[in-house]
Chain A
Amino acid sequence: MKLQKIVMTACMLLATSAAMATPATDGLFSRYKAQGAAGFDAARGDKAWHKETQGEDGQTMSCSTCHGKDLGKEGKHHKTGKVIAPMAPSVNKDRFTDAKKIEKWFKRNCNDVLARECTAQEKGDYLKFLLDK
């Protein structure tokens, strides 16, 4: 009983700390604002994350194609099969701690999934959505 309580509290603490932004994402949010983005919206990020686009080989794809349905679990590169560590900061504390890395992968993966780079607004929305996980 007591243990359960402790575990619960620990989980709640984890959950709240995960929802908070990291210094890296704080910096990015202000950068995106400086680049013209308005406020950021997790729901909009959620929708964009799951939006299906036409892939190179006629199949549709979205961010989930590689990152998986459950962001708390590992994903898998659709082509190479390489395991991708969970995206949810609540289970993967290394996520979203390095602004350079975040920007690198936004550039690559927006190009791969959307066939163009993402706008500052879109990137902020994605981040807002992911930080809640």
Chain B
Amino acid sequence: MRNTFKTALLAAALLTGSGSAMAEENFFLWLVNFTRQKEVQPVDNKAWNEECGSCHLAYQPGLLPGKSWAKLLDEKALADHFGEDASLDDDTLKALRVYALENAADKSWHKRSRKIAQATADGEAPLRIVEVRYIKRKHHDITEKMIKGNKDVKSLSYCNTCHTKAEEGIYDEDTVDIPNFGGHDYD
């Protein structure tokens, strides 16, 4: 069965002629994505990684709905981005905005993004991921001592201080390690 499938794939790839290598690669990428839509779509945009990863983790677009990104990724808003100037030139801003809107939580089929989209479907667009109801609920049991009082965390906004695979868009329990509280039961 599996072999027939592989042969079929190969045939399909070969049929597309000169672009066969590309087509095959794209197809496998699609297949991998299709079967692994559990977490959050990892960032696959170089400019996003560079521009939005210079001051903090490059948050995945799938962590907020489009209406939030529309507010955040605006020329005026970026000039005062949580108290800091994060302004971009017009072309870069336009490209990043398109990328964010196309991959926002409400456009994604990844499990966590669906949850975030549901939690933010009604009402004001949150400007912070940590204000999303679903995210708040998931961190309900973590004490202030582990966050604010923890010099290696400081704020819940810094996902990657605890979620060791946050950069890959993975936020499950198996990859959590709260600094200075490692190995303990979190409850």
**Interface set of A (CB-CB < 8 Å, partner B):** 56, 77, 79-82, 100, 104, 107-109, 111-112
Contacts and interface: CB of A to CB of B under 8 A. Distances in A.
- Chain B interface, >50% SS class: loop
B133 interface: no
Interface of B: 54-56, 79, 83-89, 152, 154, 157-158, 161
Nearest to B84: A112
B55 A82 contact: yes
Contact of B55 (A56, A80, A100): A80
A97 B83 CA distance: 28
Contacts of B89: 100, 104
Given A80-B55, A81-B152, A108-B85, 5 more contacts: A56-B83, A77-B55, A81-B154, A107-B85, A111-B85
Contacts, number: 30
Contacts of B85: 107-109, 111-112
Contacts of A77: 55-56
A101 to B, nearest CB: 10
Contacts of A80: 55-56, 157-158
B56 A108 contact: no
Contacts of A107: 85, 87
Contacts of A79: 83-84
A45 to B, nearest CB: 21
Contacts of A112: 84-85
Contacts of A100: 89
Contacts of B152: 81
A108 B154 contact: no
A81 B158 contact: yes
Contacts of B79: 111
Contact of A108 (B83, B87, B157): B87
A74 B86 CA distance: 21
B49 to A, nearest CB: 13
Contacts of A108: 84-87
